[in-house]
Amino acid sequence: MSNDEVREIVTLGTTGRLSRREVIARLAMLGLSTSAMASALAGAGLQPVRAAMSGRRGDNGVLKLLYWQAPTIVNPHLSQGVKDYHASRVCLEPLLTVNAAGVFTPVLASEVPSRSNGGLSADGKSVTYKLKPGIKWGDGRPFTAADVVFTYQFVINKESGATTYAAFATIDKVEAPDPSTVKITFKAPTPAWYLPFVGSNGMILPKHALESYVGSNARNAPFNLKSFGTGPYKVESFRPGDLVVYSINEFYRDPNKPAFQQVQIKGGGDATSAARAVLETGEYDYAWNLQVEWPVLEAMTKAGKGVVITEGGGGVEQIYINQTDPNKEVDGQRASIKTPHSFLTDLKVRQAFGLAVDRETIAKQLYGLEGDATPNVLTTPSKLNSKNTKSVFDIAKANQLLDEAGWQKGPDGIRQKGGVKLQVTYVTSVNTLRQKEQQIVKDGWGKVGIAVTLQSVDAGVFFSSSPGNNDTAAHFYRDVQMFTNTFTSPFPANYMRQYYSGDPAKDIAQKENNWSGDNYIRWVNKEYNQMYDQALVELDPTKNDALWIKMNDLVVSQAVSLPLISRRIVSTRAKSLNVAENLSPFDSETRNIADWRRTG
Amino acid sequence: MTAYIARRLLASVPTLVLISMVVFGILALAPGDPLGQLAANPDVPPEVRLNIRHQLGLDEPIPIRYMKWASAFARGNWGYSFGSHMEASRLILQRLPTDLWVVGAAYLVAVFLAIPIGVLSAVKQYSVFDQISTTLAFIGFSLPTFFTGVLLIIIFSVRLHWLPFIFNVQVTDPVGMLKQAVMPVAVLALFQSAGLMRFVRSSMLDNVSQDYVRTARAKGLREGVVIIRHVLRNGLIPVVTLLALGLPAVFTGAVVTEQIFRVPGIGSLLIAGIQNNDTPVVMAITFLYAILVVFFNLIADVIYGVLDPRIKYG
Determine the average pLDDT of the residues in A276-289.
92
pLDDT of residue A503: 78
Q: Which of B27, B44, B256 to mutate to test the interface with A (most CBs of A within 10 A)?
A: B44
**Which chain A positions have a beta carbon within 8 Å of B89's beta carbon?**
none
- Asked if B53 is an interface residue toward chain A (Cβ–Cβ < 8 A), one would say yes
Higher pLDDT, A314 or B266: B266
Does residue A39 carry a pLDDT above 50?
yes
Query: What are the backbone dihedrals phi and psi of residue B283, each rounded to the nearest 5 degrees, phi first?
Result: -60, -45
Compare CB distances from A264 to B45, B94, B170 and report the shortest one's residue.
B170
**Which chain B positions have a beta carbon within 8 Å of A81's beta carbon?**
35, 37-38
Which segment of A126-130, A221-225, A411-415, B144-148 scores lowest on mean pLDDT? B144-148
Q: Which of A300, A465, A499 to mutate to test the interface with B (most CBs of B within 10 A)?
A: A465
- Could you tell me which of A142, A254, A286 has the C-alpha nearest to residue A588? A286
Contacts of A444 (CB under 8 A, 6+ apart): A356, A357, A358, A393, A395
Compare CB distances from B31 to A219, A225, A466 and report the shortest one's residue.
A466
Alpha-carbon gap, residue A111 to A304, rounded angstroms: 41
- Put simply, the answer to whether A72 touches B168 (Cβ < 8 Å) is no
- Put simply, the answer to whether B42 touches A494 (Cβ < 8 Å) is yes
Q: Which of A278, A463, A476, A561 to mutate to test the interface with B (most CBs of B within 10 A)?
A: A463
pLDDT of residue B109: 94
Closest-CA distance, B193 to chain A, in angstroms, reads: 26
Which of the four pLDDT bands, split at 50, 70 and 90, describes residue A51? very low
pLDDT of residue B301: 83
- Could you tell me which of B94, B146, B113, B154 has the C-alpha nearest to residue B254? B146
Alpha-carbon gap, residue A229 to A243, rounded angstroms: 19
Which of the four pLDDT bands, split at 50, 70 and 90, describes residue A34? low
Alpha-carbon gap, residue A533 to A497, rounded angstroms: 10
- Asked if B57 is an interface residue toward chain A (Cβ–Cβ < 8 A), one would say no
Residue A326: how many other CB atoms lie within 10 Å: 21
Which of the four pLDDT bands, split at 50, 70 and 90, describes residue B313? low
- Put simply, the answer to whether B31 touches A464 (Cβ < 8 Å) is yes
Does residue A1 carry a pLDDT above 50?
no
Interior angle at CA B201, CA B196 and CA B207, nearest 5:
130
What pairing do the DSSP bridges indicate for beta strands A306-321 and A480-485? antiparallel
Compare CB distances from A487 to B41, B166, B264 and report the shortest one's residue.
B41
Identify whether the C-beta of residue A6 lies closer than 8 Å to the C-beta of residue A40: yes
Closest-CA distance, B67 to chain A, in angstroms, reads: 21
Amino acid letter for position A598: R
Contacts of A495 (CB under 8 A, 6+ apart): A315, A378, A485, A487, B42, B43
Q: How far is CA A585 from the centre of its chain?
A: 5
pLDDT of residue A568: 93
- Put simply, the answer to whether A80 touches B43 (Cβ < 8 Å) is no
Express each pLDDT in B186-216 by its tens digit.
999 988 899 899 889 988 888 888 888 888 8
Identify whether the C-beta of residue A356 lies closer than 8 Å to the C-beta of residue A597: no
**Which chain B positions have a beta carbon within 8 Å of A471's beta carbon?**
31
Closest-CA distance, B33 to chain A, in angstroms, reads: 6
- Put simply, the answer to whether B46 touches A517 (Cβ < 8 Å) is yes
Mean residue pLDDT across chain A: 90
Identify whether the C-beta of residue A310 lies closer than 8 Å to the C-beta of residue A475: no
Which segment of A144-148, A191-195, B40-44, B57-61 scores lowest on mean pLDDT? B40-44
Alpha-carbon gap, residue A213 to A210, rounded angstroms: 5
Q: How far is CA A320 from the centre of its chain?
A: 21
- Put simply, the answer to whether B84 touches A73 (Cβ < 8 Å) is yes
- Put simply, the answer to whether A487 touches B47 (Cβ < 8 Å) is no
Which of the four pLDDT bands, split at 50, 70 and 90, describes residue B184? very high
- Put simply, the answer to whether B81 touches A216 (Cβ < 8 Å) is no
Q: Which residue of A has its CA nearest to B52?
A: A161
Does residue B275 carry a pLDDT above 60?
yes
Determine the average pLDDT of the residues in A325-332.
88
Identify whether the C-beta of residue A91 lies closer than 8 Å to the C-beta of residue A231: yes
pLDDT of residue B220: 85
Compare CB distances from B158 to A281, A487, A515 and report the shortest one's residue.
A281
Interior angle at CA A174, CA A502 and CA A87, nearest 5:
80
**Which chain A positions have a beta carbon within 8 Å of B253's beta carbon?**
none
Does residue A18 carry a pLDDT above 70?
no
Which of the four pLDDT bands, split at 50, 70 and 90, describes residue B33? confident
- Asked if B149 is an interface residue toward chain A (Cβ–Cβ < 8 A), one would say no
- Could you tell me which of A396, A357, A353 has the C-alpha nearest to residue A374? A357
Which segment of B158-167, B181-190, B237-246 scores lowest on mean pLDDT? B237-246
Higher pLDDT, B34 or A233: A233
Strand partners, A569: A311
Determine the average pLDDT of the residues in A473-487.
92
pLDDT of residue B40: 62
**Which chain B positions have a beta carbon within 8 Å of A216's beta carbon?**
55
**Which chain A positions have a beta carbon within 8 Å of B41's beta carbon?**
82, 485-488
Alpha-carbon gap, residue A391 to A393, rounded angstroms: 7
Q: Which of A32, A163, A289 to mutate to test the interface with B (most CBs of B within 10 A)?
A: A163
Q: SS3 letters for A145-164?
A: HHHHHHHHHHHHCHHHCCCC
pTM of the model: 0.84
Identify whether the C-beta of residue A311 lies closer than 8 Å to the C-beta of residue B187: no
Which of the four pLDDT bands, split at 50, 70 and 90, describes residue A146? very high
- Asked if B169 is an interface residue toward chain A (Cβ–Cβ < 8 A), one would say yes
- Could you tell me which of A589, A587, A596 has the C-alpha nearest to residue A203? A587
Express each pLDDT in B34-85 by its tens digit.
776 666 676 777 778 788 888 888 888 889 999 999 999 889 888 889 888 8
Which segment of A196-210, A558-572, B24-38 scores lowest on mean pLDDT? B24-38
Higher pLDDT, B83 or A6: B83
Q: Which residue of B has its CA nearest to A168?
A: B43
Alpha-carbon gap, residue A366 to A224, rounded angstroms: 39
C-alpha neighbours within 13 Å on the C-beta side of residue B189: 20
Q: Which residue of B has its CA nearest to A85?
A: B38
Identify whether the C-beta of residue A493 lies closer than 8 Å to the C-beta of residue A499: no
Strand partners, A508: A519
- Put simply, the answer to whether A466 touches B32 (Cβ < 8 Å) is yes
Compare CB distances from A163 to B44, B50, B165 and report the shortest one's residue.
B44
**Which chain A positions have a beta carbon within 8 Å of B159's beta carbon?**
none
pLDDT of residue B2: 81
Which segment of A1-10, A294-303, A518-527, A548-557 scores lowest on mean pLDDT? A1-10
**Which chain B positions have a beta carbon within 8 Å of A567's beta carbon?**
none
Amino acid letter for position B259: Q
Compare CB distances from A240 to B52, B83, B153 and report the shortest one's residue.
B83
Express each pLDDT in A344-389 by its tens digit.
999 999 999 999 999 999 999 999 999 999 999 999 998 999 999 9
Does residue B305 carry a pLDDT above 80?
no
Percent of chain A with pLDDT over 90: 71
pLDDT of residue A19: 64
Closest-CA distance, B176 to chain A, in angstroms, reads: 11
Closest-CA distance, A524 to chain B, in angstroms, reads: 19
- Put simply, the answer to whether B170 touches A243 (Cβ < 8 Å) is yes
**Which chain B positions have a beta carbon within 8 Å of A241's beta carbon?**
83-84, 91, 264, 268-269, 272
As to burial, measured by CB atoms within 10 angstroms (0-12 exposed, 13-18 middle, 19+ buried), residue B144 is exposed
Which run of H or E residues covers position A433? Answer: helix A432-447
- Asked if B262 is an interface residue toward chain A (Cβ–Cβ < 8 A), one would say yes
Alpha-carbon gap, residue B216 to B237, rounded angstroms: 19
Contacts of B294 (CB under 8 A, 6+ apart): B12, B15, B16
Q: SS3 letters for A551-584?
A: HHHHHHHHCCEEEEEEEEEEEEEECCEECCCCCC
- Put simply, the answer to whether B47 touches A516 (Cβ < 8 Å) is yes
Closest-CA distance, A282 to chain B, in angstroms, reads: 9
Determine the average pLDDT of the residues in A571-598.
94
For chain B, positions 23-42, list CB contacts with chain A under 8 A: 31-42
Which run of H or E residues covers position A397? Answer: helix A395-404
What pairing do the DSSP bridges indicate for beta strands A262-267 and A286-287? unpaired
Alpha-carbon gap, residue B289 to B294, rounded angstroms: 9
pLDDT of residue A184: 97
Closest-CA distance, B24 to chain A, in angstroms, reads: 17
pLDDT of residue B4: 83
Closest-CA distance, B46 to chain A, in angstroms, reads: 5
Please report the ipTM that was assigned to this predicted complex.
Answer: 0.85
Percent of chain B with pLDDT over 90: 25
Express each pLDDT in B162-171 by its tens digit.
999 999 888 8
* DSSP-assigned states of every residue in A94-113: -SEEE-TT--EEESSBSS--
**Which chain A positions have a beta carbon within 8 Å of B51's beta carbon?**
158, 161, 165
- Put simply, the answer to whether A283 touches B166 (Cβ < 8 Å) is yes
Compare CB distances from B45 to A459, A466, A494 and report the shortest one's residue.
A494
Closest-CA distance, B38 to chain A, in angstroms, reads: 5
Does residue A395 carry a pLDDT above 60?
yes
**Which chain A positions have a beta carbon within 8 Å of B166's beta carbon?**
66, 266, 269, 277, 283-284
Alpha-carbon gap, residue A582 to A594, rounded angstroms: 10
Longest Cα separation, chain B: 84
Which spans in A169-256 are helix H?
207-210
pLDDT of residue B212: 86
Q: How far is CA A21 from the centre of its chain?
A: 37
